[in-house]
Amino acid sequence: MRTAIFPGSFDPFTIGHYDIVIRGLDLFDKIVIGIGRNSEKKECFPLQQRLDAIHRVFRDNPRVEVEVYDSLTVDFAREHDAQFILRGIRCVADFEYERNMAEANKQLGDVETILLYTRPEYAHVSSTLVRDLYSYHKDITPYLPQSQI
Among 33, 76, 87, 111, binds ligand ADP (CB under 6 A): 87
Alpha helices in the chain (DSSP H): 15-24, 47-57, 73-79, 92-109, 127-135
Examine residue 9 and tell whether it contacts ligand ADP (CB under 6 A). Answer: yes
- Candidate residues 28, 57, 113, 127; the one interacting with ligand ADP per rule CB under 6 A: 127
Q: CB–CB of 49/66 below 8 Å?
A: no
Is 127 annotated in the active site?
yes
To the query of whether residue 39 is one of the catalytic residues in this protein, the response is no
CA distance linking residue 123 with residue 121, whole number of Å: 6
Cα–Cα dist 94/98, whole Å: 6
Question: What stretches of 4-90 show up as alpha helix (H) in DSSP?
Answer: 15-24, 47-57, 73-79
The yes-or-no answer on residue 126 being catalytic is: no
Scanning 9-17, 48-56, 57-65, 105-113 for contacts with ligand ADP by CB under 6 A, the matching segment is: 9-17
Question: Out of 65, 67, 79, 94, which residue is the one contacting ligand ADP (CB under 6 A)?
Answer: 94
105 near ligand ADP (CB under 6 A):
no
Choose the catalytic residue: 2, 41, 99, 124. 41
Q: What is the DSSP letter of 127?
A: H
Pairing mode of beta strands 3-8, 84-89: parallel
**Catalytic (active-site) positions:** 17, 41, 90, 127
Name the site residues for ligand ADP (rule: CB under 6 A). 8-10, 14, 16-17, 20, 38, 41, 87-90, 94, 118, 122, 125-127
